[in-house]
Amino acid sequence: MIEGVDLAALERWMDGQGVGTGPIADARLLSGGTQNILMRFRRGDASYVLRRPPPVPRANSNDTMRREARVLAALDGTAVPHPRLVAACGDEDVLGVAFYLMQPVEGFNATQGLPALHASDAAVRHRIGLSMVEAIAALGAIDYRAVGLDGFGKPDNYLERQVGRWKAQLASYADFAEWPGPEAIPGVERVADWLDAHRPADFRPGIIHGDFHLANVMVRPDSGDIAAVVDWELSTIGDPLLDLGWLLATWPEDDMPRATDVAVTPWEGFATPDELVAHYAKVSGRDLSALDWYVVLACYKLGIILEGTHARASAGKAPKETGDRLHAHTLDLFDRALRRIS
């Protein structure tokens, strides 16, 4: 057993799927951006990465695994860089949870440190942001019905549902008695009202990643190109411009990243927000006249998600230090939003 993975059971299941031969060897856990478990191992001449829910699965963990596997299968053969799905098990009887296998990605997470090539070459660093934009432009261009994702999300009234959905999420934090409430987030009502008043009239639906930022991509070791977009647990069918808004909401606004930005060191040479927008417009062909709305929505949504940890920390259900740090991030996101609408 390795962190809830019964290797003998996994081996038997792989035999049934015709995946690999011989005993599982060199199994080791990988670090990741979520609580989900990633385990890399070898079987015969091939290497694999297994992804499964955390040791104590959340209520929707198994459905999330099934959805991730479905979207990765749909992306096979597309221009979107992603981990290639090898096989998936939606049945919870094998390991006690749903899981899937994917090919390992030869790349690195820039937020965990840059290798020598990238640390020493500003032009290579500049390419990272442009390549990220190309990835979400390619994702949004896919005909989701043609790749088998009809019913994967609910594009009807997608934009109309957003503010109400996340306003209700924020209100639910009142269940944590010690949480100071939405009053501790300056501008929260003003941002919500602005979003409702300026909502785009329509959009062209597509696949969205849902949590697209620098920590959720792997970069090739030999260039600034993206090797894979990872962590697809929030993917759905919606408005692809929200992925661009999310990237801009988390991207440093100048050459001096703040503690709450998703950034790396050194930052010098990375594409500016304006360069990211111009490149997305060039490669996607989408109308960006309402881009501010998507950036503000991303700030609103992400800020409310992060505030949930602060609420739990206020009730002693999460570390106080983590709650305080993420609350500071929430305040920064709403500050960004307010500057966009002022």
Farthest-apart Cα atoms in the chain, separation: 63
Average pLDDT (5-32) is: 92
pTM for the whole structure? 0.94
137-178 per-position pLDDT tens digit: 999 999 999 999 999 999 999 999 999 999 999 999 999 989
Average pLDDT of the chain?
94
98-123 per-position pLDDT tens digit: 999 999 999 999 999 999 999 999 99
Residues 202 and 214: beta-carbon distance below 8 Å = no
pLDDT level of residue 30 (50, 70, 90 thresholds): confident
Q: What number of residues does the chain have?
A: 342
- Among 196, 193, 303, which residue's Cα sits nearest to residue 245? 303
CATH code: domain 7-102 is 3.30.200.20
Residue-range domain boundaries for the chain: 7-102, 110-341
Which residues have C-beta within 8 Å of that of residue 70, sequence separation ≥ 6? 88, 148, 149, 152
pLDDT level of residue 35 (50, 70, 90 thresholds): confident
Which residue carries 């699965």 as its tokens?
57
Check residue 255 and give its pLDDT: 84
* Whether the predicted pLDDT of 88 surpasses 50: yes
264-290 per-position pLDDT tens digit: 999 999 999 999 999 999 999 999 999
Question: Measured between alpha carbons, how far is 139 from 121 in angstroms, rounded to an integer?
Answer: 28
User: Of 2.60.120.1360, 3.90.1200.10, 3.20.20.100, 3.40.50.300, which CATH number belongs to 110-341?
Assistant: 3.90.1200.10
Q: Degrees (nearest 5) of the Cα angle 334, 218, 216?
A: 25
pLDDT level of residue 342 (50, 70, 90 thresholds): confident
Question: Measured between alpha carbons, how far is 287 from 278 in angstroms, rounded to an integer?
Answer: 11
* Whether the predicted pLDDT of 43 surpasses 70: yes
Residues 180 and 314: beta-carbon distance below 8 Å = yes
* Whether the predicted pLDDT of 187 surpasses 70: yes
Average pLDDT (128-134) is: 98
Residue type, 212: F
Peptide linkage before 53 cis (omega within 30 of 0): no
Strand, helix or coil for residue 261: coil
pLDDT level of residue 32 (50, 70, 90 thresholds): low
Check residue 129 and give its pLDDT: 98
Check residue 33 and give its pLDDT: 44
Check residue 2 and give its pLDDT: 79
User: Edge-to-edge, what's the strand order for the sheet holding 46-52?
Assistant: 24-30, 37-43, 46-52, 99-102, 85-89
